[in-house]
Amino acid sequence: MLEPAKPAPLPWTLRTGLLGMTTLYYWAAFFWHPVWLRHVGIIQYKGWFLDAFALLASSDAAALGLDPYAPNPLDYFHRAHVYSHWWLHLHDLGLTRADVVWVGAGLGAGFLLTALWRLRPASPGQFLWYLAVLCSSPVILGVDRANNDLVIFILLTPLVPCLLSRHGAVRLLAPLLVIAAAMLKYYPAAAGLLLLTAAPRQEVRARVAITLGLLALAGWGVAGDLAHFGQIGPKPEGLMSFGAAAAFNTLGWSGWMPKAVGLAAGAAGAAACWFRRTLRDWQPAPGQQSDWLHFVLGAALLTGCFFLGMNYGYRWIFSIWMAPFLWKLPADPAAPGAVQRLMRGLRWLLLLSLWWDPVCCFVINQLTGVMPGGMIVRVADGLFLAGQPIDWAFFLGLLVFLTAFARRGIDLLRARTG
């Protein structure tokens, strides 16, 4: 007796389009009902795209001869410019505050399209996993603010395809992308780790040399910007933020010492992984290289940000690059059981990290008007502290993979042949 034929799977374009439309409908619900944002942890002050507006206001101030690094009267909140002077040339492109709507909407659309380029669900489970990442509050926060992290995301999207290109000249474009992103917002310098991607030894050395040379030249030009805003930079805290010093700050310990303790803990974790040579018996298969390198890219940016400072929640957008590998590796029969379990654990930890704060904010909003304000603050702090072990476990787990990648790259640089 013939078995009934299985229905043909939907084309990937249709599956990805469905993912995009579902995400867009979810985002649009908050556009039409902005009051809902506070229930998922997002405070909307004076409308959409506030961070894009701040950048355009800084550029307008510079064009008018004002000091953009001082409180800016052209911005809604008089925010001073806290990025490199490269952003102050937006007016040279003809962009002003009057363009904020289409600039913000364009950034959001470009971000979603580049995210969908990475996320191509092959099963209902994978579809729901990607949807959980794209519809999380940290991602919506980045779109709501039109934060320039979206620019970094779009700018670094070609990095892995460049490194995997068959053409050596294209592969050598990778340092340019890393340096451009780093000069716009500094922390993307962590993406330089990917320049250790396996290739002929001389090519890897050339990448590193080009990057160091460009970093010296470009870094000299923006080093003074750090002096301008070093004391007025944003100071994220509480729900919808993350960082190694978060628990210390919430408990009242601030300054440079808690940052140093968090960084030391990260360095100790990396050293333990390095000297134990974790993952020495596992390497991704050739067909997994793109997913693996995107995973490393997202992990490098997020882990660097976690251990070096406090960050607003929208920085979690870089976990989008990690999502495919987090889904696929636990189901790879060729991967050792320990590697599968570790990656499966990281997938659950990422899901908890993305949704813990929004759920807590929803609970706190239900308590408003029911209990005194001071008690609500204590509840919020308690819930925030309860979520810190999740973040720490996630980033210490990422160090296992990052140190293994770094060790292989450095071993390649030190090899006498290859």
Q: What DSSP string describes 370-383? A: TB-HHHHHHHHHHH
Q: Residues near 318 by Cβ (< 8 Å), separated by ≥ 6?
A: 149, 153, 297, 298, 301, 302
In a domain, 140, yes or no: yes
Confidence at residue 416, expressed as pLDDT on a 0 to 100 scale: 61
Q: What is the pTM of this model?
A: 0.93
Residue 25 counted as domain residue: no
Instruction: Please count the residues of the chain.
Output: 418
What gap in Å lies between CA 296 and CA 341, rounded to an integer?
18
Rounding to the nearest 10 degrees, give the CA dihedral for residues 351, 356, 361, 364.
Answer: 140
Q: Is residue 216 part of a domain?
A: yes
> DSSP characters for 274-306?
HHHTTTTT----GGGHHHHHHHHHHHHHHHHHH
Is 8 domain-assigned? no
Quick one: pLDDT at residue 406? Answer: 93
Residue 319 domain boundaries:
44-228+237-414
pLDDT of residue 3: 56
Q: Which residues pair with 312 in a beta bridge?
A: 241
Whether residue 36 is contained in a domain is answered as: no
**Residue 3 belongs to a domain:** no
pLDDT along the chain (418 residues), means of 10: 57 89 96 91 86 96 92 92 91 94 96 95 94 97 96 97 91 92 92 88 86 82 68 82 94 90 94 88 91 97 95 97 97 93 97 96 86 87 95 97 93 71
Question: Cα–Cα distances in Å, from 322 out to 41, 176, 235, 294?
Answer: 23, 22, 26, 6
Residue type, 204: V
In a domain, 71, yes or no: yes
CA distances from 358 to 38, 164, 184, 349 (A): 9, 37, 29, 15
| Cα atoms found within 13 Å of the Cα of residue 24, Cβ hemisphere only | 15
How far apart are the C-alpha atoms of 230 and 113, rounded to whole Å?
34
- DSSP-derived 3-state class of residue 49: coil
For the chain, the domain total comes to: 1
**Exposed e or buried b for every residue in 58-92, given b needs 16+ CB within 10 A?**
bbbbbeeeeebbeebebbeeebbbbbbbebbebbe
User: For residue 24, is it within any domain?
Assistant: no
